[in-house]
């Protein structure tokens, strides 16, 4: 996928850098951030952020993913990450997290909107979003962007931190009108 820098009012998206490692580790070490994601381990092991950055750089270079650091506009510090994972040609999954001190300020919503624009520019016509039971903030982020329940993908039982939970699937059709198009 091509590099795109997006600036959407309160946030800017930029490529991840090796020196983002400490900011990532500090923010995702928070169980309240990690617990709602599919892959962030808790406790967060030493070196995990560096390993993540290397892996993200490799999969981005291969076109399998696109990761962007989320910053506040005018401030280069990473406050979250937004990503696309290619599922098949034209279809990708949107992911994101924001450090807890920055919650409730519209940052994830603005970052998601920016990434949806990037996805559309890259020819993606269908975006998927997966949210665990009990994460209304993330459901609100997707709903505000126009995502709806994916009736083709019923809730899936997953195990996270030893607990069974349901993963709800949402979809945004980028060929349709409305906020997402
Ligand atoms: C989900 C997350 C990214 C939201 O980040 P954020 O920057 O606070 O999000 P925003 O401020 O843009 O939007 C939050 C939305 O949740 C709503 N909200 C906040 N608290 C809520 C609650 N307790 N119940 C329901 N909705 C709530 C807000 O009203 C807002 O919706 P609106 O824009 O329609 O008003 C952040 O909480 C996070 O990183 N969580 C942990 C990781 C995670 O869940 N990642 C997504 C995995 S699917």
Residues 61-80 have pLDDT tens digits of 999 999 999 999 999 999 99
Q: Which amino acids bring their CB within 6 angstroms of ligand 1?
A: 33, 36-37, 96-98, 103-109, 131, 135-138, 140-141, 144
The protein residue with its alpha carbon nearest to ligand 1, atom 26, reads: 137
The protein residue with its alpha carbon nearest to ligand 1, atom 21, reads: 137
The partner residues of 6 in beta bridges, in order of sequence, read 13
pLDDT at 84 (0 to 100): 98
Q: Could you give the CA distance from residue 8 to residue 113 in angstroms, rounded to a whole number?
A: 8
Report the SS3 class of residue 11: strand
The protein residue with its alpha carbon nearest to ligand 1, atom 27, reads: 137
CATH number of 6-173: 3.40.630.30
- C-alpha 141 – ligand 1 centre gap (Å): 6
The Cβ of residue 147 has, within 10 Å, a number of other Cβ atoms equal to 24
Of 41-45, 69-73, 116-120, 175-179, the one with minimum mean pLDDT is: 175-179
- C-alpha 62 – ligand 1 centre gap (Å): 30
Q: How confident is the model at residue 9 (pLDDT cuts 50, 70, 90)?
A: confident
pLDDT at 149 (0 to 100): 97
Give 109-151 pLDDT, tens digit per residue: 999 999 999 999 999 999 999 999 999 999 999 999 999 999 9
90 pLDDT exceeds 70?
yes
Domain ranges of the chain: 6-173
pLDDT at 177 (0 to 100): 56
Compute CA distances 162 → 8, 48, 130, 159, 166, whole Å. 38, 20, 19, 6, 13
Q: Could you give the CA distance from residue 56 to residue 58 in angstroms, rounded to a whole number?
A: 5
131 CA: nearest ligand 1 atom: 48
**Mean pLDDT, the chain, whole residue set:** 93
The partner residues of 25 in beta bridges, in order of sequence, read none
Ligand 1 test: best mutation among 24, 94, 141, most atoms within 8 Å of CB?
141
The partner residues of 66 in beta bridges, in order of sequence, read 84
- C-alpha 125 – ligand 1 centre gap (Å): 24
pTM of this prediction?
0.94
Q: How confident is the model at residue 161 (pLDDT cuts 50, 70, 90)?
A: confident
pLDDT at 170 (0 to 100): 98
């Amino acid at each position: 996928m091509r590099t795109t820098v997006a600036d959407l009012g309160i946030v800017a998206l930029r490529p991840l850098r090796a020196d983002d490692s400490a900011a990532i580790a500090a923010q995702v070490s928070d169980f309240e951030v990690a617990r709602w994601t599919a892959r962030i381990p808790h406790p967060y092991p030493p070196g995990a952020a560096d390993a993540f950055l290397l892996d993200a750089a490799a999969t981005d270079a291969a076109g399998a993913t696109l990761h962007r650091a989320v910053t506040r506009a005018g401030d280069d510090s990473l406050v979250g990450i937004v990503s696309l994972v290619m599922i098949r040609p034209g279809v990708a999954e949107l992911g994101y997290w924001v450090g807890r001190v920055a919650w409730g300020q519209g940052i994830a919503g603005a970052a998601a909107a920016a990434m949806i624009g990037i996805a559309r520019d890259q020819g993606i016509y269908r975006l998927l979003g997966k949210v665990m039971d009990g994460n209304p903030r993330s459901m609100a982020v997707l709903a505000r962007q126009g995502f709806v329940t994916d009736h083709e993908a019923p809730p899936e039982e997953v195990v996270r931190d030893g607990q069974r939970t349901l993963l709800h699937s949402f979809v945004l059709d980028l060929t349709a009108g409305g906020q997402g198009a």
